[in-house]
Amino acid sequence: MAAPSGFDPSTIGRRQPIDVVLHPFRRFMRFEAAGGIMLLVATAIALVWANSPYAQSYLDLWHHTKFTIGLGGFELSKDLVHWINDLLMAVFFLVVGLEIKREMLVGELASPKRAAVPIIAAIGGMVVPGAIYALFNLGQPTFRGWGVPMATDIAFALGVLAILGRRVPLSLRVFLASLAIIDDLGALLVIAIFYTDEINMTALLIALALVVVLAGHNALGVRRAHPYALIGLLVWYALYESGVHSTIAGVLVAMTIPARTRINGQEFLDATRRRLDHFERAGDHDESVVTNVAQQADLTIIETLCQHVQTPLQRLEHSLVPWVSFLIVPIFALANAGVAFAGGGDHGEAGGDPAHSITAGLTGGVGLGIAAGLVLGKPLGIALATWLALRSGIGVLPPDISRRHFLGMACLGGIGFTMSLFIAQLAFINPNDLAAAKIAVLGASAIAGVIGFVILRTGAPAPEPANGSPSDR
């Protein structure tokens, strides 16, 4: 997921020293592939750190450093990696949930005809990799990891398309984004249903009751973020106590965020024009805006109008995406991707039993199942499911997507980084299995990304639309 594009506010008004300092960072954050680059850098740092002479400090920081929250008799103490995976990733899933809701209401998933093909393609891209992994691990304790190769990493996959520029049509980016969003929804269902061992029904019912309360806030027209944030934290804790993975709270809360505007576009234009005219007339006497009471009132009203013409879902998604793309997901990679190539230690990341080296891990059922599932199963499942959807007449592909475009996109679907690592943490108790899974995810995602990039890069650039219509293929 990339940060929302837009103008640089530092280009308006007097340029301040801080604008000069932040300008290169702002330019980088507006680059569509920036989130993927940050993820890649964090992964590289984790791998170098976990295989350096300072590998023990990696374990000490992420796995042995406790962070405790307490108030009175209440205390919640977890190591840093668990806070990241349980709490920070709940914010990641909140953004995923907001994206899913937006797409279902006004995006590519709002129209059944347009949504049919990416939905069916995503299902195929989940079932086939899971089945391939299962074949490699039948009758083994590692069978539990069948969910690892199922999901596509949105940041990396869309980042590759961004680097390719106009060699790929816009419709291909939209198709891949829709497919990856459905993938994430499927992965969330897999986590909730299959990676929950014991359920505390009392805590679960409390969580569901709190979600109903949030839905009630929505129905009453509550549009401020604070009530949703406070009750959302309670939902997170109730799910944590229930045994259902607490990150699911992010998606549940996202579904309750209001997605309606309070005024429409025409009402916004009319009201804003009236206030701007009044603002202009009120400033005829060269009075500073800071001391002009009438102009200050106009600005307050315009600010309120801007809030009313946007949905709370919109505002929340735009405010959270940069934090998720440039902080939460890179920190997740830094804390979870550090696996030692020499073997698995007490957490599977550094030091440990040399018998479980990278070679042993990748040639076992875990490594081969994940690698085959991502590199072969994902494109095969996406292609077969799409072919069935097209043959049955359920949906159609945009006319500017060629077979080469589709094949390259299907291969990019095998980039399973963030969600695959997350599910691996839930699936594998044995640290050596977890280490093998991480190595396989990293290696297979890299291979899938390179294959997809080469297929798309060596094809002809996507032609410019003629007279506003897609070009014939």
pLDDT of residue 271: 94
429 domain residue, yes or no: yes
pLDDT of residue 56: 92
Same domain for 317 and 186: yes
Same domain for 297 and 316: no
Confidence of residue 27 (pLDDT cuts 50, 70, 90): low
3-state class (DSSP) for residue 408:
helix
- Residue 411: its H or E element: helix 403-412
- Residue 333: its H or E element: helix 329-336
pLDDT at 7 over 80: no
* C-alpha span between 370 and 444 (Å, rounded): 8
3-state class (DSSP) for residue 466:
strand
Torsion of CA 440, 442, 444, 450, to 10 degrees: -160
386 domain residue, yes or no: yes
Give pLDDT tens digits for 344-397. Answer: 444 444 444 444 455 665 678 899 999 999 999 999 999 999 999 988 888 788
Same domain for 382 and 294: no
pLDDT of residue 467: 45
Picking from 136, 42, 97, 120, the residue whose alpha carbon sits closest to that of residue 333 is 42
Domain residues for the domain of 436 are: 70-195+245-260+312-321+357-457
pLDDT at 137 over 60: yes
Q: Determine contact, residues 94/88, Cβ cutoff 8 Å.
A: no
* C-alpha span between 454 and 446 (Å, rounded): 12
pLDDT of residue 466: 47
pLDDT of residue 3: 47
* C-alpha span between 442 and 435 (Å, rounded): 11
3-state class (DSSP) for residue 157:
helix
* C-alpha span between 427 and 145 (Å, rounded): 5
The CATH number for 316's domain is 1.20.1530.10
Q: Which amino acid is at 413?
A: G
Q: Which amino acid is at 73?
A: G
* C-alpha span between 371 and 443 (Å, rounded): 8
Which ranges constitute the DSSP H helices of 261-311? Answer: 265-281, 293-308
Question: How many structural domains does the chain have?
Answer: 2
Give pLDDT tens digits for 407-453. Answer: 999 999 999 888 899 899 889 988 888 888 999 999 999 999 999 99
Same domain for 191 and 274: no
* C-alpha span between 172 and 161 (Å, rounded): 9
pLDDT of residue 246: 86
* C-alpha span between 174 and 176 (Å, rounded): 6
Q: Determine contact, residues 184/419, Cβ cutoff 8 Å.
A: yes
Same domain for 316 and 296: no
Same domain for 99 and 164: yes
Same domain for 249 and 107: yes
- Residue 76: its H or E element: strand 74-79
Same domain for 291 and 144: no
**256 or 190: which leads in pLDDT:** 256
224 domain residue, yes or no: no
205 domain residue, yes or no: no
pLDDT of residue 351: 42
231 domain residue, yes or no: no
Token pair of 358, please?
Answer: 């990278």
64 domain residue, yes or no: no
What is the arithmetic mean of pLDDT over 238-266?
Answer: 90
- Mean pLDDT in the chain? 84
pLDDT of residue 384: 95
316 domain residue, yes or no: yes
Confidence of residue 116 (pLDDT cuts 50, 70, 90): confident
Same domain for 272 and 152: no
Confidence of residue 454 (pLDDT cuts 50, 70, 90): very high
pLDDT of residue 417: 85
221-230, 245-254, 278-287: least confidently modelled range: 278-287
Confidence of residue 24 (pLDDT cuts 50, 70, 90): low
Same domain for 256 and 123: yes
What is the arithmetic mean of pLDDT over 172-178?
Answer: 85
64-78, 270-284, 339-353: least confidently modelled range: 339-353
DSSP character string of 197-221: ----HHHHHHHHHHHHHHHHHHHHT
pLDDT of residue 11: 61
Confidence of residue 120 (pLDDT cuts 50, 70, 90): very high
Cα-trace Rg, the chain:
24
pLDDT at 242 over 80: yes
What is the arithmetic mean of pLDDT over 37-48?
Answer: 89
pLDDT of residue 413: 92
> DSSP secondary-structure letter at 346?
S
Q: Give Cα separations from 280 to 13, 56, 268, 294, 295 (angstroms).
A: 18, 64, 18, 10, 8
pLDDT of residue 22: 52
* C-alpha span between 313 and 466 (Å, rounded): 36
Picking from 88, 6, 2, 82, the residue whose alpha carbon sits closest to that of residue 38 is 2
Give pLDDT tens digits for 288-319. Answer: 788 888 889 999 999 999 989 999 999 999 99
Place of tokens 């800071």: 290
Percentage of the chain modeled with pLDDT above 90: 41
Same domain for 422 and 383: yes
Picking from 215, 203, 240, the residue whose alpha carbon sits closest to that of residue 85 is 240
* C-alpha span between 71 and 293 (Å, rounded): 45
pLDDT of residue 455: 93
206 domain residue, yes or no: no
Same domain for 317 and 275: no
